Structure 1
């Protein structure tokens, strides 16, 4: 009985830490967060393995830049439109690989 309780508690903590990790990775602007999630899925499922590290690094840099912009009230308002434009650009370039955004 105790082992099930400990296992259940450990599983709950793992889920909680994964949710917190995802929240920490979010930009905080829905258009940007949806794009990044879709782009990461595309990269992880469609981009050839030898190209993934380069694209993943650019996603990491993009996320960091957008988070910085989101933290500034003067630039935050520009992010929804910026992320929508980037989504359209990447959608066209990654479309041939079968990615959807």
Structure 2
């Protein structure tokens, strides 16, 4: 299994919209699901900071991710721009095979 883990600082007024867009049934998961190699998205909220979230996007392998991005790069960039206002910051924490 290959994963991407991101951490987000979400604007307090945008928490509901963020959860909708980034959750397992949200716009990001819907876009990723166009890849046969996509295996799901998980969304976590911090127990100590309600404005901090983690997403874990799972693909069968790095090749599936690369193929998804090659086929959907423009849609990915468009959705990223559409959801940018929901966060005050974001960081990629991990990417690669689960060990």
Regarding TM over 0.5, the answer is no
TM-score, length of structure 1 as denominator length: 0.31
**Structure exhibiting the larger radius of gyration computed from Cα positions:** 1
Asked which structure has the greater RCO (Cα within 8 Å, sep 6+), the reply is: 2
Q: TM-score, normalized by length of structure 2?
A: 0.31
> Whose helix proportion is higher, 1 or 2?
1
Of Structure 1 and Structure 2, the greater strand share is in 2
